[in-house]
């Protein structure tokens, strides 16, 4: 017996997607979601620590740690910026719940990146670090991005949101756009020394698409 024809205009996979979307909504609303997300966000750190223990980070483990923590900072920033476009496009309101932990993960890896640079490159000498920040523009740009992330991390909690007010909180957290652009510039300067721009181009396209989506939406909004 042949399957009944779908109603005119109906998407053939509409029913399947509705089921998938309902499952995703339930997972995102689950009380276990923050714990699972936290563990996933810590996986890169676990991988790096395993590399230190088993000596698999290459000939220069210090440089590998500095580079990797910087890479994961930029990846976490891109994932944070991707939440809203995905939430709107897929019709998943609960997806907004993952954004806060992604933003905190970006700040966490940025802090590790700064700490690795300060410890391995500068020997935790604060005077040398201050001189290096003033002397090398790409270090200044990276440090500026970390400073801009600090108020975002400090206001990523419910009490802080209530204290500053919803609209002020939204304005403050638009600093993330400046952070990701400074992070991309910092990454570009790091790769420029070795004339390796492939990854820079990939991140640049991703960030351009994420910011372009927001710009287009802002222009269309009355």
Per-residue pLDDT tens digits for 5-63: 545 444 445 678 788 888 888 999 899 999 999 999 999 999 999 999 999 998 899 99
Rounded Cα distance, 82 and 75, in Å: 10
Q: Is residue 161 part of a domain?
A: yes
Give the range of the structural domain holding residue 91, as residue numbers without chain letter: 15-220
Domain annotation covers residue 46: yes
Whole-number Å distance between alpha carbons of 215 and 221: 10
User: With the CA atoms of 124, 125, 128 and 132 taken in that order, what torsion angle do they form, in degrees rounded to the nearest 10?
Assistant: 10
pLDDT tens digits for range 178-202? 999 999 999 999 888 777 789 999 9
Rama region for 94: left / alpha / beta (φ>0; ψ in -120 to 50; rest)? alpha
Is residue 70 domain-resident?
yes
**Domain count within the chain:** 1
Estimate to the nearest angstrom the gap between the alpha carbon of 128 and the chain centroid: 29
């Amino acid at each position: 017996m042949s399957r009944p024809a779908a109603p005119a205009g109906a998407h053939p996979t509409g029913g399947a997607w509705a089921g998938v979307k309902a499952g995703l909504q339930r997972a995102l609303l689950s009380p276990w979601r923050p714990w699972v997300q936290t563990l996933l966000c810590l996986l890169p750190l676990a991988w790096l620590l395993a590399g230190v223990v088993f000596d698999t980070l290459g000939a220069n483990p210090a440089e590998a740690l500095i580079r990797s923590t910087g890479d994961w900072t930029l990846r976490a920033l891109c994932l944070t910026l991707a939440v809203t476009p995905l939430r709107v496009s897929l019709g998943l309101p609960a997806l907004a719940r993952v954004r806060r932990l992604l933003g905190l993960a970006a700040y966490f890896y940025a802090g590790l990146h700064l700490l690795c640079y300060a410890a391995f490159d500068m020997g935790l000498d604060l005077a040398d670090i201050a001189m290096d920040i003033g002397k090398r523009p790409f270090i200044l740009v990276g440090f500026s991005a970390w400073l801009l992330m600090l108020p975002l991390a400090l206001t990523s909690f419910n009490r802080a949101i209530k204290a500053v007010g919803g609209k002020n909180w939204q304005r403050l957290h638009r600093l993330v756009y400046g952070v990701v652009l400074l992070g991309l510039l910092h990454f570009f300067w790091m790769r420029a020394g070795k004339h390796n721009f492939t990854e820079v181009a990939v991140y640049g396209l991703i960030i351009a698409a994420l910011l372009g989506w927001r710009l287009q939406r802002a222009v269309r909004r009355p």
